[in-house]
């Protein structure tokens, strides 16, 4: 993890520090909307479709009690609602409310705009290479699909 002679950092430090950069973007964009970073993440996940509590907990890496508290707080803010699961009458799914859709879209757009600025010093080719390498790391490690991919117009398209 030592600094290289040419001023670059290693893979481990690069990934960890990149995660901190992205987390800082989530925190700032969340605060500006009266959300916690976890609520912002929850809204981004739910943009694709409603999910059950267990699936959400797995995707966000939260224990059942933490997930329940997160959904409770976000529901009190009028951003999500619990609805019956059509496949299992004992279970509920969490879905965005109409207001939640608006807040999620705004949060998502602002978060994407800010994260897209992070590699601003890279050329188009370097950005393409970075995207390819990060994509391989994510897929090789089966990271959960917690963020929608931007389409060609800059809007949310598919879950990644």
Work out the angle between the directed axes of helices 37-46 and 64-76 (0-180°, nearest 10): 90
Distance from C-alpha of 133 to C-alpha of 23, rounded to nearest angstrom: 20
Q: What is the DSSP string of 18-77?
A: HHHHHHHHHHHHHHTTT--HHHHHHHHHHTT--EEHHHHHHHHT--HHHHHHHHHHHHHT
Q: Per-residue pLDDT tens for 17-40?
A: 999 999 999 999 999 999 999 999
Average pLDDT estimate for 3-7: 60
Q: Per-residue pLDDT tens for 37-78?
A: 999 999 999 999 999 999 999 999 999 999 999 999 999 999
Contact in structure between 103 and 33 (CB atoms under 8 Å): yes
Q: Does pTM top 0.85 for this prediction?
A: no
């Amino acid at each position: 993890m030592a600094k290289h002679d040419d001023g670059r950092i290693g893979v481990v430090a690069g990934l960890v520090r990149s995660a901190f950069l992205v987390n800082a973007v989530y925190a700032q964009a969340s605060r500006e909307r009266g959300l916690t970073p976890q609520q912002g993440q929850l809204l981004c996940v739910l943009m694709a479709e409603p999910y059950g509590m267990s699936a959400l907990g797995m995707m966000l890496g939260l224990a059942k009690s933490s997930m329940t508290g997160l959904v409770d707080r976000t529901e009190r803010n009028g951003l999500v609602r619990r609805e019956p699961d059509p496949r299992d009458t004992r279970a509920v799914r969490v879905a965005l409310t109409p207001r939640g859709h608006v807040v999620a879209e705004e949060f998502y757009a602002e978060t994407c705009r800010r994260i897209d600025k992070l590699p601003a010093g890279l050329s188009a080719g370097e950005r393409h290479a970075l995207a390819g390498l990060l994509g391989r790391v994510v897929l090789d490690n089966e990271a959960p699909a917690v963020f929608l991919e931007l389409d060609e117009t800059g809007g949310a398209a598919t879950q990644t």
